[in-house]
Amino acid sequence: MTTERFTERLTEQRDQGFFDAEDLGTCISCGFCLPSCPTYKLTGDEASSPRGRIALMRAIDHGEVDIFDAAAKEQGSFCLGCRACEPVCPAEVPYGRLLEQLRDAQWKGRRRPVRVWPLLVFARSRRLIRLAGSLVPFRRHASFTASGSGAGAGSGAASDVASDSTGTDRLMLGCFERVLFPGVSRAAADALPGLEIPSDQGCCGALHAHNGDLATGTELAEQLTARPGRIVSTAGGCAAHLAAVAGRDRVADFSEVLLERGELPGPLLVDGRPARIGLQDSCHLRNGMGVSEAPRRVLAALGEYVEVPGAGDCCGAAGTYAILRRRDSRRVLEAKLAVLEELDLDFVAVVNPGCQRQLITAVRRARLRTRVLHLAELVALARAGSAAE
């Protein structure tokens, strides 16, 4: 590319404006975000911190750096998107939105990572999602394919939980969760009788929004929230995306609704003693929706709750991150795995399917005795009165 053409492209880039000016202008470059950032902690490199990436975005916005420059693309990909920088930011910079805007520009069309394409195609198709779910052996979610009350709602008793004006709570079946961990949705429906479970629900759009297709991500979220009522989610990443599009009052995490109903089972016993249970937070649930206390309160009722050091830090799954950057994902996970080995817990609870897949794989590889289960699955075990395999 000639110097003249390169200059023209930078001018076009500046005029196009990839970032929301108000979002980008919020950062005061204080550096409070640096200690919370996983990639900064790994590298010690300012460029790999939220402050460094925002400086890069500003340079792109001013036409000083090509958005497709190798270093710019590397930082767009290297960030986990965990949003740990947001709760500690005194200026309340919406970093997650800015990262989505960066990838929306960098990962358009043929520039999108090849490994992401099939996932986006699958998540966009309601037919493929339902077909894949029906093929899961021995764990079919057939009871979730009819609109109306979920499993365990035979009494028909109305829920008294706080909801919107319709009084309707609906269980969201995550498009990948229902395939990888369909038992989670069943456990959630059993624990919360009376939830509506529409048969035609599709993807929430979080996968698209986080991987360079903001328009589709917003469209899918609007479709899923078009019905009146509140969505109850068992997937932290999905819940945070829906809340960002439709409003916080339209979305609740499973743990929040369980506490609202006040129907917590007694302690889960292992060898006659209360089970020792830890938690791995969902980054987006904690940092995006501010939900961290509710799952801990539920777990405290299920056994001896043990706070895992670094529970609020990313596990390295980060949506498609573990697929696109496997080595970096494992580097992020290493410290967490060492802590779990030292604690020797009976269970580690998760509240997001990506975290669940990441930790199950890691715990098996390390040959730890600790079992990784979704919070809803642990509630189901406690209701059954057994921690047996």
Assess whether 257 and 277 both reside in one domain. Answer: no
Assess whether 187 and 301 both reside in one domain. Answer: no
Assess whether 249 and 347 both reside in one domain. Answer: no
Task: Say if residue 19's pLDDT is above 60.
Answer: yes
pLDDT score recorded for residue 28: 97
Task: Say if residue 388's pLDDT is above 60.
Answer: no
pLDDT in tens, 39-48: 999 999 999 9
pLDDT score recorded for residue 1: 61
Assess whether 239 and 300 both reside in one domain. Answer: no
Assess whether 76 and 127 both reside in one domain. Answer: no
Query: How many structural domains is the chain composed of?
Result: 3
Q: Which residues contact 319 (CB under 8 A, 6 or more apart)?
A: 81, 206, 207, 210, 211, 237, 354
Within-domain flag for 154: yes
Confidence band for 145, pLDDT divided at 50, 70 and 90: very low
Q: Name the pairing type of β-strands 347-350 and 304-305.
A: unpaired
Q: How many beta carbons lie within 10 A of that of residue 307, not counting itself? A: 12
pLDDT score recorded for residue 386: 53
Q: Which residue has the higher pLDDT, 108 or 59?
A: 59
Assess whether 170 and 79 both reside in one domain. Answer: no
Assess whether 130 and 65 both reside in one domain. Answer: no
Assess whether 378 and 282 both reside in one domain. Answer: yes
Q: Which two tokens stand for residue 198?
A: 């529409």
Within-domain flag for 389: no
Assess whether 18 and 125 both reside in one domain. Answer: no
Assess whether 125 and 257 both reside in one domain. Answer: yes
pLDDT in tens, 148-200: 344 333 332 333 333 344 568 999 988 888 778 889 999 999 999 999 998 77
Domain boundary among 55, 76, 106: 106
299: closest CA among 353, 259, 333, 239?
259
Assess whether 24 and 55 both reside in one domain. Answer: yes
Q: How far is Cα 256 from Cα 192, in angstroms, rounded to an integer?
A: 11
pLDDT in tens, 335-384: 999 999 999 999 999 999 999 999 999 999 999 999 999 999 999 999 98
Residue 86 belongs to domain with CATH number: 1.10.1060.10
Residue 319 belongs to domain with CATH number: 3.40.50
Which residues constitute the domain of residue 155? 115-261
Within-domain flag for 18: yes
Within-domain flag for 212: yes
Instruction: List Cα–Cα distances, 24 to 8, 21, 61, 62, in angstroms.
Output: 23, 5, 9, 12
Assess whether 65 and 128 both reside in one domain. Answer: no
21: closest CA among 65, 54, 67?
54
Mean pLDDT (the chain, rounded)? 86
pLDDT in tens, 92-121: 999 999 999 999 999 987 888 878 867 777
* Residue 326: Cβ-neighbour burial (10 angstroms; 0-12, 13-18, 19+): exposed
Domain boundary among 226, 244, 261: 261
Q: How far is Cα 76 from Cα 323, in angstroms, rounded to an integer?
A: 15
Q: 235-255 burial string, b = 16+ CB within 10 Å, else e?
A: bbbbbbbbbbbbeeebbbbbb
Domain boundary among 60, 78, 106: 106
Task: Say if residue 37's pLDDT is above 80.
Answer: yes
Q: Which residue has the higher pLDDT, 196 or 127?
A: 196
Give the pTM: 0.86
pLDDT score recorded for residue 152: 39
